Structure formats: structure tokens, C-alpha cells
Structure 1
Amino acid sequence: MGHGKQARERHEHDGDGGGMLIRRARRYEWSAAFGMLGRRRQVYDGLVALSGVGPGDRVLDIGCGTGYLTRRVARAVGPGGTVVGIDPSPSVIAYAATRSAANCTFQVAGAQALPHADASFDAVVSSLAIHHLPSDDRVTALGEMRRVLRPGGRLLLADFREQPRHLRLANLLGVLARHARQHHSMADLADLVGRADFELTGSGDRWPSLRYVQARRSMTDVSAHREGSRP
């Protein structure tokens, strides 16, 4: 690999706050479509169904990237609901904001310190984002998700349990963006939600090589995860 290409890849995926940022939104979209073998809409609509969101809900999408899942959730909550997508990469947030429905808004923010008030969402969703966080920050991020959920609010997390065979082959051929080569096992999702004091309500596997967990903030949990509310 030439020095110019190495420099471009470092720029496209600079770390920020210990994580990894997606810099090239269009390239990310191509990689995501490739990774789902043309079934991206079906896969993400399946995740929306698992999240249990419905008309009128207020939903937060963590690590929303280019906003694909955000847009699918927006269809489910309808015009009476709202979806907020957050991501630490300004370029993908700018891309998402120009392609989404009126009931979607986007913010540059990291999962470890959410800029939202306590108990302000009915549901939190996150797909293929947790693995981007340093392992030491994951429970902190889950604690923030719990904090911004109302008591009884729902959580859906999904990530690759292993890298799909076709992505391993693509890696060998060198045709995927660097961020797509970072997907790795997240078999400990259920452990993470338990350590963040969520109630686990379901888990399972989905094509292609996805693992998901469903959880909720206890109805009797009326305390913030930490002292103070964010504005």
C-alpha cells in the first residue's frame, strides 16, 4: 500500500475520544450495502420490529452513521414520533441530515456522554456501533443509554457476532473500507446490558451473523444513572 493511500485511510477513520470515526459517508454506504448482500432494508426493518417501537415514540439511535437505521425507525414511529440520531463523525451526520424525513434530527455526539436529559426517550437502538467503542467505555455508554430512557423504556443493540464469510473473503481481496474490516465478535452484549443495570428481555441471532439483545429500564428505576441531568 502506498503512503498516499495510508494517509487517506488514517484521515477517513481518525480516532476521537478513543473510538473510530467514519469519515467517508458514501464509501461507508457502499460497504454497508455490500455487507448485507443487497438485503440491508430487510435486515434493518427486522431490527426495527425487534425494538418494539411504534407510532408516537421518541427514539434515540446511537452511532447512527449515515442514518439508515434512523430512517427505518422514523417510518415506524410515524409523523407523531421523533427519532434522534447521534454519531461522533460530523461528516456522516451532515450526510444523514440531508437524506432523512422531517421527524428525524441528528447531532454530533458520542455514546459515552449523551447530550440529552434523563428519561427523555421511549426507546434506544444501536446497530453495528458498540464494537467501535473502546472496551473500557462500553458499560459507560450503556449506562448513558439507560439514563436517557424513561422507566420501562426499551433498548435494542445489534452487532456482528462474527465476521461473515463473504466479508472475510473481501478483506483478503482488500476491497472493503478499513472500518468494515473492524467488525468483530460482540458475543458479550447480554453481559454488557446486565452490567449497566438493564433488565434483559430477549436475545438471538439474525442473518448475516448478527447478534442482538433486547432490554428495558426497570419500571421501578426512577433514579438517574449518575447525579445530574444533561440539558
Structure 2
Amino acid sequence: MGLGKLLHDHAEHADVGGTIDHPRAYELAAEIGFLGRRREIFTRLAALSGVRPGDRVLDVGCGTGYLTRILAPIVSPAGRVTGVDASAPMVEHARRRAPGNCSYQVGEGQALDLPDAGFDVVVSSLAVHHIPAAERGAALREMFRVLRPGGRLLIAEFRPPTNHLLAQLVGMVSGPAMRHSPHDLLGDLIPAAGFHVQDEGDLPVMLSYVRALRPST
């Protein structure tokens, strides 16, 4: 079984979505895929999110909890980081490594079992492409719902390589994830959900991000 098949055995088509249920294989693939710069890149994502001490943060599609563990010391003991992922094995992996101010639950981004306006920041990295295309709008609306007015959103997704050969090699590992650019994947879903887009940009090793706000009124 190839690594791409192993990671994405519940996601045969980019628009159907699916889960990753092999956390150790995913961690290995992530370290390779980010060329040894994973910590650096996700630390930059944490900074872009605008998370501050005392914030309540939600990570939608938290996977193994890698980003939540970077955010945990930033929010300090007074803050809280909650991770949600549709894969029970990934959530269990995250729980075993959880700092004291992190908690995790199994759930889908398009149907969050969380209260309205309960978070200051919502982040989602490399997760939207795992949500079925028909449900991505609902997932963004759920992120809007659980953010307090004035709360901040950060979405990060894969940015396909422009080199055709490199794109083929990456596709062997990433499966359906790399078939669409972030612009094709997200379209106007973020503003359509009610967010005000602040900015967007690229990060090293094939990532793009969008930052947005839930309006205060």
C-alpha cells in the first residue's frame, strides 16, 4: 500500500472528502512534506492567527493536535484550546499528547457540537479539503457561529506546486488534497459565511492562508 493510499483510504476523491485514520503515518508524511520546516511554518500560522493570552481557540480538523500544541503556551493557562476532528484515531493521538489547557473531541466541521460565540479565534489548517465539497459552506457557517463577534478566523490550505513533476510526486503522498488550488477549494465560501476577509498570502512549502474577521455587529 502506498503512503498516499494509506493516509487517504477514506478519501478517494477530492470532492467527497474523508478522514485520515493513521496518525503515525501522517506525522511522518508531514515531517517529510514540510522539508523539516513544519515547526517553523506552523509557528508562523499561530502568529498569523492573532492568538493572545487568555483566548479561547478552536482548531477545526485538528488532526494529531500539532497546531493546538503550538497554540497552547501562547494562550497561557488562562486560555483554552479545543480541537475537533472527524477521525477518532487522530483525536486519541492528540489527547495522549495534550497540554493541560487543550481538549479534543470527535466531530465534523459542518456540525460542530459547540455553543454559539464561544471562541475568540477559529483556526483550520489542511482540513477543508477533507470536508465533502457540498458541506464546506456549512462548515464555514459553523465556524462563523461559534466565533464571538469580532473573533478571528485563519484558514490554511495546500498550495499545489507549479512544477508538473513535483506536483505528481507530492500527489503520491497527499492524495486528493493537492488537486485544487486554495482559491478553487474555498472560492467565496468565507465571505459567503458572513466573514470579512482581511488578507491572504502564501507560506513556504506549498501553503496558502486566508485571515478573516466575524464582524462585531
2:19 is aligned with 1:25: no
2:211 is aligned with 1:217: no
Q: Which residue of 2 aligns with 1:86?
A: 84
Larger radius of gyration: 1
Q: Which residue of 2 aligns with 1:143?
A: 141
Instruction: Supply the RMSD in Å over aligned alpha carbons.
Output: 2.2
Distance, in Å, in 2 between the alignment partners of 1:11 and 1:161 is 19
CA contact (8 A) 2:82 2:103 kept: yes
Give the number of the structure with larger relative contact order, counting CA–CA contacts within 8 Å between residues 6 or more apart.
2
Cα separation, partners in 2 of 1:98 and 1:87, compared to 1, 3 Å:
same
Amino acid in structure 2 at the alignment position of 1:14: H
**3-state SS in 2 of match to 1:187:** helix
Cα separation, partners in 2 of 1:11 and 1:219, compared to 1, 3 Å:
closer
2:182 is aligned with 1:186: yes
Shift of 1:78: 1.1
Q: Which residue of 2 aligns with 1:208?
A: 205
Amino acid in structure 2 at the alignment position of 1:201: Q
Deviates more, 1:159-168 or 1:191-200: 159-168
Amino acid in structure 1 at the alignment position of 2:49: S
Q: 2:131 aligns with which of 130, 133, 150?
A: 133
Shift of 1:77: 0.7
Deviates more, 1:150-159 or 1:128-137: 128-137
Distance, in Å, in 2 between the alignment partners of 1:126 and 1:12 is 18
Gaps of 5+ in 2: none
Cα separation, partners in 2 of 1:104 and 1:186, compared to 1, 3 Å:
same
The TM-score with structure 2 as length reference comes to 0.88
Distance, in Å, in 1 between the alignment partners of 2:47 and 2:162 is 23
Q: Which residue of 2 aligns with 1:14?
A: 10
Distance, in Å, in 1 between the alignment partners of 2:154 and 2:7 is 31
Q: Which residue of 2 aligns with 1:168?
A: 167
Cα separation, partners in 2 of 1:181 and 1:109, compared to 1, 3 Å:
same
Cα separation, partners in 2 of 1:113 and 1:200, compared to 1, 3 Å:
same
Amino acid in structure 1 at the alignment position of 2:111: A
Q: Which residue of 1 aligns with 2:98?
A: 100
Shift of 1:195: 1.1
Cα separation, partners in 2 of 1:130 and 1:164, compared to 1, 3 Å:
farther
Q: Which runs of 4+ in 1 moved over 3 A?
A: 9-12, 163-172
Distance, in Å, in 1 between the alignment partners of 2:77 and 2:110 is 29
Distance, in Å, in 2 between the alignment partners of 1:12 and 1:208 is 20
Deviations 1:4-29 (A, max 9, x none): x48xx5797335xx531111110000
Amino acid in structure 2 at the alignment position of 1:102: G
Shift of 1:132: 1.2
Amino acid in structure 1 at the alignment position of 2:70: R
Amino acid in structure 1 at the alignment position of 2:92: A
Amino acid in structure 2 at the alignment position of 1:210: L
Cα separation, partners in 2 of 1:56 and 1:210, compared to 1, 3 Å:
same
Q: Which residue of 1 aligns with 2:34?
A: 36
Distance, in Å, in 1 between the alignment partners of 2:8 and 2:197 is 36
Gaps of 5+ in 1: 221-231
User: How many pairs are equivalent?
Assistant: 208
Deviates more, 1:183-192 or 1:200-209: 183-192
CA contact (8 A) 1:117 1:148 kept: yes
The TM-score with structure 1 as length reference comes to 0.83
Amino-acid identity (%): 47
